[in-house]
Amino acid sequence: MNPIQRSAGLARSLLVVFGLAACKLDDLSSSLEPEVGTGQVYTLVTVNERAIPLTLTENGISFEIQRGALTLAADSSWILSFVVRQAGAGASQRTVSTQRGRYTHPQVNTVRLTPSPTDTVARFLGTYSPTAVVLTDQSVPNGDRLGFTK
């Protein structure tokens, strides 16, 4: 599956995320930021090797991923948060979508993010360094790749 096809899968995932994850809606004129916590904060720079901001379309609805952040805290908790503009049927809104859970380092230079018991969205596995994290969504075949830098 090429990066654009995988990105369509991400658009479908974003539809689910808006229904299941903690979301904050806002108008288009205010400044929304991804939620971050105390710990190592990484900035989302790519989705499937495509630069952010990135627009995806699914069933006539467009999603522009405007910003994103990943926080890895010392207590092994994580926060993954996106600012997304959703547009369709003549209306537009921006949303902050946030997921949380626990992480482990199953091997040197790897990280596994597991959702909290109440979050059914995604499980990620990826590479980790003090300056960059690359995560792959393990919940679906050929899952999306998210690239973060410090």
Q: Are 7 and 49 in contact (CB under 8 A)?
A: no
Please give the average per-residue pLDDT across 47-55, as a whole number: 94
Q: What are the C-alpha distances in Å from 45 to residues 19, 34, 108?
A: 24, 13, 23
Q: What confidence tier does 59 reach under pLDDT thresholds 50, 70, 90?
A: confident
Number of other residues whose CB lies within 10 A of the CB of residue 142: 13
Alpha helices in 3-123 (DSSP H): 3-20
Q: Where do the DSSP E strands lie in 48-120?
A: 50-51, 54-58, 61-72, 77-88, 91-104, 110-115
* pLDDT at residue 30, as a whole number: 55
Residue whose tokens read 């990066």 = 3
Longest dimension (CA), the chain: 48
* pLDDT at residue 119, as a whole number: 61
Q: What confidence tier does 122 reach under pLDDT thresholds 50, 70, 90?
A: low
* pLDDT at residue 106, as a whole number: 82
Please give the average per-residue pLDDT across 43-67, as a whole number: 92
β-partners of residue 96 are 24, 83
b/e per residue 69-78 (b: at least 16 CB within 10 A): bbbbeeeebb
Instruction: Tell me which of 77-86, 88-97, 126-135 is least confident.
Output: 88-97
**Helix (H/G/I), strand (E/B), else coil: 86:** strand
